Amino acid sequence: QVQLVESGGGLVQAGESLRLSCAFSGRTFNSYTVGWFRQAPREEREFVAGIQWIVTRTVYADSVQGRFTISRDNAKNTVYLQMNSLKPEDTAVYYCAADHRGLTVTQELNYDYWGQGTQVTVSS
């Protein structure tokens, strides 16, 4: 069974940075596409960034393109989300999710495993 554990959230001021981590266990990590999603209060959960299991292609939501960077370290079974130039509208609970040999990184329904989430709060 795949387990995902997010960490690295917190309270920061606008313009600052955070790095989220998603620790993966239970299966062969390098065969899983991993995505980051977020859910703000009273909003639907939305795609933020994803990295494929093969060729490590990355995809970003328009709202974070150029500010966020997703990466993976297959030796550490971990995916990172580096978030720079944070804005108050980035405030949300951030979730990582895994999809075995997934090719479409943006679709929430494709992901089989989810972490519990980590809170990110950006003050103005």
| Dist. CA 51–CA 98, nearest whole Å | 10
Q: Sorting pLDDT into bands at 50, 70 and 90, what band is 103? A: confident
| Dist. CA 102–CA 89, nearest whole Å | 29
Q: Of residues 79 and 101, which shows the higher confidence score?
A: 79
The pairing of strands 118-123 and 10-13 is parallel
For position 10, what pLDDT does the model report?
A: 97
pLDDT tens across 36-95, in order? 999 999 999 999 999 998 877 999 999 999 999 999 999 999 999 999 999 999 999 999
| Dist. CA 60–CA 75, nearest whole Å | 23
Q: Nearest CA to 78 among 70, 87, 68?
A: 70
